[in-house]
Chains A and B, each alone.
Chain A
Amino acid sequence: QVQLVQSGAEVKKPGASVKVSCKASGYSFISYYMHWVRQAPGQGLEWMGTIYPSAAATTYAQNFQGRLAVTSDTSTSTGYMELTGLTSDDTAVYYCATLGGAFDYWGQGTLVTVSS
C-alpha cells in the first residue's frame, strides 16, 4: 500500500534551518509530484511547493521564494523540504503529500517548533 513516512519532530532556534524528509513506498516515486503543505497551530492549510522527481522540477509559493528548497532522491524514493531563516511564524506541522486527482496520499506530518 502507498505510504509516505516523514522524519520526526524538530526544535530549532530562530535563524536556523530545518530539513524534513518523506520516504515514499508502494508506488512509482518518479511518476507523481510530491507537494509540501504546512499548518500552523490552530490555522488552515498552506501549500508551500512541489517537485516532480523524474525531472527534479520544482515550483514554490511566492511566500517561500528564496527560503525553501524541495529536493528528492530517486534512489531512495525520498523527498526533502528544507526551510531556512526560521522565525516563530514557521512553527507548524509540515506535511508531504501527492495531492491532485485520484492519487492523493499524505504523510503523517512533522512538527517543527521554532523557539529561542
Chain B
Amino acid sequence: DIQMTQSPSSLSASVGDRVTITCRASQGISNYLAWFQQKPGKAPRSLIYAASRLQSGVPSRFSGSGSGRDFTLTISSLQPEDFATYYCQHYAAYPYTFGQGTKVEIK
C-alpha cells in the first residue's frame, strides 16, 4: 500500500498568513493527488485534484503543487473560514489512502 505522510499535524496561524502543508507519498504517484478540507461535523470538501487543479468554486487563494512523491497545499492568505483540518489523498492505485490530516487553528 502507498502511505501518505502529512506535515505538520497541526499549526497555528493568523488571518492573512500564508500557510503551507506538505504531503509525501511512500512511492511515486505521478499527479494522482487530491486535497480535502473538513470542518467539524461535516463531510470532506474537495479543494484540489490532479495535484494542482482547483475544484470548481474553490477560492483561488488555495493552490497545490508537486508530482511524484512530494506535494504541497498552499493557502496564500488565510481567511477565517479556512480554519479546518486538511487531508491529502492519493488515487494512483487501490487502496486509496489519506494522510493523517493537518489541523489549522487560529493563533
Contact = CB atoms under 8 A, between A and B. Distances in A.
Contacts, number: 54
Contact of A102 (B45, B56, B96): B56
A100 B91 contact: yes
A27 interface: no
B44 interface: yes
Given A44-B98, A47-B95, A106 B44 contact: yes
A47 B97 contact: yes
A108 interface: yes
B41 to A, nearest CB: 9
A61 B2 CA distance: 12
B89 to A, nearest CB: 7
Task: State the majority secondary structure of interface residues on B.
Answer: loop
A35 B23 CA distance: 22
Contact of A44 (B43, B55, B91, B100): B100
B94 to A, nearest CB: 5
B95 A102 contact: no
A109 B49 CA distance: 22
A62 interface: yes
A99 interface: yes
Given A45-B89, A50-B94, A99-B34, 18 more contacts: A44-B87, A44-B98, A44-B101, A45-B38, A47-B89, A47-B95, A47-B97, A59-B94, A61-B94, A95-B43, A99-B89, A100-B91, A102-B49, A102-B55, A104-B49, A104-B55, A107-B43, A108-B43
Interface of B: 1, 34, 36, 38, 43-46, 49-50, 53, 55-56, 87, 89, 91, 94-101
Interchain residue pairs A-B with the least CB separation, the first 9: A104-B46, A106-B43, A47-B96, A45-B98, A61-B95, A59-B94, A44-B101, A100-B91, A44-B100
